């Protein structure tokens, strides 16, 4: 064990030591699994292949630990490009709030390479950038027409608020309703609100209550609040 430890220390301190990259990767794995992250970083950084998506992901997390976000982003993006979905999710979760343009860049690249599943990530990153342009609306429309409830809901919100498209209450109601019928809780609450207030549709408080109840049953906090308020008002009448 002491000899093994000495080899690891020597390999990390002197990259020119006569150890091939395969051995360095092995020693890096041992260090990573033991929680010796500084040593793992030194070993991996001089030995990991570009297409080694697992170790590229590890390098990304190791660079995060030492506060080097540019290196973190580079290695996580590299891992994602070679099909590492965990690296993609980790990268997106970390950067979607602070640098959504990085996420959009990677997602767009993956979509262009044929990874259709990255379209939802591209949508999320463009929305985070508040870029309601032709690219985003086109992606939402494509997803909505294919039956994606989240895309239907988002497109309904765009038509309701006039974001990226002309305001259109009829289309806002239609797309929101389609999402609600698929069980999207916020869409269900919004349909209830439309019926309660008469926005987009003729006012109907009983229908509003039914939609609020469905939303609440599916976990919508607003739906729960709205159905309780409806019951409170109804009981006091």
pLDDT band at 1 (very low <50, low <70, confident <90, very high): very low
Global pTM reads: 0.79
Residue with the larger pLDDT of the pair 42 and 107? 107
Average of per-residue pLDDT across 1-14: 52
The distance of Cα 148 from the centroid of its chain, to the nearest Å, equals: 15
User: Was domain 147-237 assigned CATH 1.25.40.10?
Assistant: yes
Task: Show me where the domains of the chain are located.
Answer: 147-237
Check if the beta carbon of residue 152 is closer than 8 Å to that of residue 187.
yes
92-to-55, 80, 177 alpha-carbon distances in Å: 18, 10, 29
Where residue 3 falls among pLDDT bands split at 50, 70, 90? very low
* Predicted confidence (pLDDT) per residue in 156-212, tens digit: 999 999 999 999 999 999 999 999 999 999 999 999 999 999 999 999 999 999 999
106-132 mean pLDDT: 94
Is residue 62 over pLDDT 80? yes
């Amino acid at each position: 064990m002491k000899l093994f430890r000495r080899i690891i220390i020597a390999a990390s301190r002197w990259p020119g030591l006569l150890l091939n990259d395969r051995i360095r990767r092995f020693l890096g794995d041992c260090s990573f699994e033991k929680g010796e992250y500084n040593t793992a970083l030194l070993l991996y950084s001089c030995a990991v292949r570009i297409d080694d998506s697992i170790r590229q992901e590890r390098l990304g997390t190791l660079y995060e630990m030492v506060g080097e976000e540019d290196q973190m982003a580079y290695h996580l993006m590299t891992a994602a490009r070679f099909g590492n979905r965990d690296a993609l999710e980790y990268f997106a979760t970390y950067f979607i709030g602070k640098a959504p343009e990085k996420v959009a860049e990677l997602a767009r690249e993956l979509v262009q390479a044929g990874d259709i599943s990255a379209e939802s990530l591209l949508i999320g990153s463009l929305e985070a950038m508040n870029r309601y342009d032709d690219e985003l609306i086109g992606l939402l429309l494509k997803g909505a027409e294919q039956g994606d409830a989240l895309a239907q809901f988002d497109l309904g919100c765009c038509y309701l608020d006039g974001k990226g498209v002309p305001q259109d209450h009829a289309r806002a109601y239609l797309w929101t309703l389609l999402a609600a019928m698929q069980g999207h809780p916020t869409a269900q609450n919004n349909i209830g609100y439309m019926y309660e207030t008469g926005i987009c549709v003729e006012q109907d408080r009983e229908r509003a209550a039914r939609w609020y109840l469905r939303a609440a049953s599916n976990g919508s906090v607003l739906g729960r609040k709205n159905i309780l308020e409806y019951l409170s008002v109804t009981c006091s009448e």
